[in-house]
Structure 1
């Protein structure tokens, strides 16, 4: 289906471009959201008559988005979630969660998240405030506020935890080995003492001449 774009659409074109798209994409998204018109002769005449107005309206909206984006770009947001020892979340962080977290005029459809976040750590997420304006925010997913602070400083909390667990396991093994050695030494001394006593008892008495 041929359409004429009323605003810039990512991977398609900008205002006034006539492009060929799949009918379903046009009917289900582009046309109902007023991002495009069918490229009929009547609609092309209508578009050309309104083109100057549409371009001015788009420029105004883009400038507003740039102003809002200046405060948003580069910000970091903390999300607290439960997760296992390997850092995999019990659940996920979705585009809706991120939109709710940021608030303001940011809607779910503006969050360019290819798939939900499913593990601890920092994720850079693009927010499309306008077809021509995008900003990037950092989503810091952690189990606690303390972990979030450490991650923000560049620490890999899962690696740290694994290193600590490995060190603790080594210390525990060392303690068990020392305890086993002490028990063995004590048992050995006891056996030696018992054998010495038995030997002394079995030794024949010397007779006086």
Structure 2
């Protein structure tokens, strides 16, 4: 199906372009959300008549997104979750959780604006991209830890999933060659000799 885009859509096109998309994408997403119109003569004339209003509305949304971006860009948020000793979380942090965390800080972000290819399942510091507008994108930092104290230690650069942090032992001490010496004789062999 051919549609006329009413706003810039990433990986698809700019406002006013006529693009060919799959029927389901147009019917289920672009048309109901008012992001596009079916490409026919009546809609082309309607778009040209409303073009100035659409461009002004798009510019207004972009400026609002940029003001939010200036406040939010580069900020760090602490997320406390239960996790095992190795740093593997018992649950995960999904886009919905990120939106709720930002909402608790006073930012209204929809979960579809949060770009997470897969949920966060380990503790540590994670970079999350947020799309505020088709042309405005920012990155926030999520400090996922088991407690606020661990979050502070992670900020200082400490690795909470290393053997030293977990067991209090240097990583080299846990190598197999430190447990077994192939040149040493077995105690039973020494008694027989």
TM class by shorter-chain length? 0.7 to 0.9
- SS of the residue corresponding to residue 60 of structure 2 reads helix
Deviations 1:20-42 (A, max 9, x none): 11111111111111111111111
Whole-angstrom distance in 2 between the partners of 1:120 and 1:63: 35
* 1:124 aligns with one of 122, 127, 131: 127
Whole-angstrom distance in 2 between the partners of 1:54 and 1:92: 39
**Following superposition of structure 1 onto structure 2, how do residues 92-131 of structure 1 map, counting pairs within 5 Å?**
92-103=92-103, 104-131=107-134
Root mean square deviation, CA, Å: 1.6
Whole-angstrom distance in 1 between the partners of 2:114 and 2:102: 10
* Structure 2 counterpart of 1:147: 150
- SS of the residue corresponding to residue 96 of structure 1 reads helix
Whole-angstrom distance in 1 between the partners of 2:159 and 2:32: 45
Whole-angstrom distance in 2 between the partners of 1:128 and 1:113: 11
1:161 aligns with 2:165: yes
Q: CA deviation at 1:162?
A: 4.0
Q: CA deviation at 1:165?
A: 4.2
TM-score if structure 1 supplies the norm length?
A: 0.77
**Following superposition of structure 1 onto structure 2, how do residues 23-172 of structure 1 map, counting pairs within 5 Å?**
23-103=23-103, 104-159=107-162, 160-162=164-166, 164-165=168-169
TM-score if structure 2 supplies the norm length?
A: 0.83
- SS of the residue corresponding to residue 168 of structure 2 reads helix
Whole-angstrom distance in 1 between the partners of 2:47 and 2:55: 11
Whole-angstrom distance in 2 between the partners of 1:153 and 1:39: 55
Whole-angstrom distance in 2 between the partners of 1:35 and 1:75: 30
How many residue pairs are counted as aligned between the two chains? Answer: 169
Q: CA deviation at 1:68?
A: 1.1
Whole-angstrom distance in 2 between the partners of 1:75 and 1:125: 11
Gaps of 5+ in 2: 175-193
Larger Rg: 1
Q: Moved runs in structure 1, 4+ residues, more than 6 A?
A: none
